[in-house]
Amino acid sequence: MHLQKVPKPMNPNDASLVDRGDDLATFRSEFAFPVRTDGTPWVYLCGNSLGLMPLAVPAAMQVELDSWARYGVEGHFEGPHPWMPYHRRLTAPLARLMGALESEVVSAHTLTVNLHLLMAGFYRPQGQRTKILVEAGAFPSDQYAVDSQLKHHGIDPAKGLIEVDTIVERSADPTIPLVEAIRQAGDHLAMVLLGGVQYYSGAFYDIPTVVREAHKVGALVGLDLAHAAGNVPLYLHDWGVDFACWCSYKYLNSGPGGPGELFVHERHHQRRDLGRFEGWWGHEEKSRFEMPRHTRFGRRSLAT
């Protein structure tokens, strides 16, 4: 058995000095810290589930409530921040954060809803190419989503799912077992669905290598970046990732119920062979209120 030496805990006073000297230390004063019963603030380390509330949130919310009160339904088009194009305010910062083009990202829905919508388009099992490869011990919601997608196509998850153990010794590269499994699956592999950061071990996978190896065998690569967005450097466009989704209430510090986000590489934007679940917000914006019977992809709209 390989035993790791446990580092000696840092003296609390030394840790406080390091914190105060950090380049980001000044941001501490911009957040609300929960306090104990004795009035002392928590040491808050729960960025993986819900970040601290920025002190600016109540004022920002009040602006929107005032718009609702003053404009009613016209708040979609009037006021300081009209609601109809609200998502576009997030496009540029999301693109910078994720290493994407602005046309490749949008804020909408929730993480799991986005994952299902993306897989509905990108997971197209045909012939022997039916398998989905995931990390063993992936975040449970991803496991549930993948299992249900396989079942939706009439595929038994026990036969259609490849789970790869990437929880390895710290000295080992967790991407190596993924590459080996991709090569072994070959033309049976339809998709790799991977967490950018393994939520249990904290491993940050070598995503460009995974993408390169998956594309070599003809498979697509999707990512759940819930534990990576705002946490590690990402370059989704340059890495050639096919699609990705993430949430905003972990390291991006939105509030409870904050919206999810998604990415689709521009090379897929004009494809007509992908499955699309179309609706109001998915329709071309410039003709949305004309309510046409056809979308710009030439298919029948479900709207009447």
102-132 pLDDT, tens digit each: 999 999 999 999 999 999 999 999 999 999 9
126 alpha-carbon distance from chain centroid:
27
Q: Tell me the CA end-to-end span of the chain in Å, nearest whole number.
A: 65
Is residue 30 in a domain? Answer: no
pLDDT at position 301: 38
Number of domains in the chain: 2
* pLDDT for residue 272: 83
Token digits of residue 171: 């000295």
Query: How does pLDDT run across 168-199, given as a tens digit for each residue?
Result: 776 688 999 999 999 999 999 999 999 999 98
Nearest by Cα to 107 from 238, 222, 245, 215? 245
- Residue 80 has φ and ψ, to the nearest 5°, of -65, -30
Higher-pLDDT residue of 270, 279 = 270
**Residue pair 224/196 in contact by the 8 Å Cβ criterion:** yes
According to the model, what pLDDT value does residue 303 have? Answer: 39
Measured distance CA(184)–CA(178) in Å, rounded: 10
Confirm if 101 and 170 have CB atoms less than 8 A apart: no
71 and 141 share one domain: no
Over 60: is that where the pLDDT of 267 sits?
yes
The amino acid that residue 222 corresponds to is: G
| Least confident span in 76-80, 249-253, 272-276 | 272-276
What is this structure's pTM? 0.87
> Of 192, 134, 198, 196, nearest to 163 (Cα)?
134
- Please check whether residues 250 and 175 belong to one and the same domain: yes
DSSP SS3 for 121: helix
CB 223 within 8 A of CB 244: yes
- Report if residue 122 sits inside a domain: yes
Q: The domain spanning residue 229 has which CATH number? A: 3.40.640.10
- 98 within domain boundaries: yes
Q: Are residues 229 and 259 in the same domain?
A: yes
Alpha carbon distance 223, 207 (integer Å): 9
In a domain, 40, yes or no: no
One domain, residues 241 and 255? yes
Q: How far is 272 from 275, CA to CA, in rounded Å?
A: 8
What ranges in 72-168 are assigned the alpha helix state H? 88-98, 111-122, 140-152, 157-160
**Domain match, 79 and 96 both:** no
What pLDDT does 202 receive?
87
| Predicted pLDDT at 170 | 66
Q: Whole domain around residue 122: which residue ranges?
A: 88-268
- Judge if 123 and 231 occupy the same domain: yes
Question: Can you tell me the distance from the alpha carbon of 143 to that of 215, in angstroms, rounded to the nearest whole number?
Answer: 22
Give, in order, the Cα–Cα distances in Å from 120 to each of 39, 49, 128, 142, 275: 50, 27, 19, 14, 6
- Name the residue among 152, 159, 118, 150 with its Cα closest to residue 246: 118
Task: Assess if residue 79 is contained within a domain.
Answer: yes
Separation CA 136–CA 148 (nearest Å): 17
Q: Given this model, what pLDDT does residue 282 score? A: 72
Classify residue 39: in a domain, yes or no: no
**Is residue 51 within 8 Å of residue 250, measured between CB atoms?**
yes
| Mean pLDDT, range 152-165, rounded to an integer | 96
The Cα–Cα gap between 87 and 91 comes to 7
> Greater confidence, 256 or 68?
68
Task: Assess whether 92 and 226 both reside in one domain.
Answer: yes
Give the whole-angstrom CA distance, residue 254 versus residue 230. Answer: 11
Distance (Å, whole) CA 204 – CA 223: 12
Q: What angle do CA 61, 244, 273 make, to 5 degrees?
A: 120
Q: Are residues 123 and 234 in the same domain?
A: yes
pLDDT at residue 58, rounded to an integer? 96
pLDDT higher than 50, residue 4 = no
> What is the predicted pLDDT for the residue at 41?
85
Work out the pLDDT band at 257, boundaries 50, 70, 90.
Answer: confident
Angle, alpha carbons 52-58-63 (nearest 5°): 140
In the listed set 64, 86, 108, which residue is the last one of a domain according to the structure?
A: 86
Higher pLDDT, 9 or 198: 198
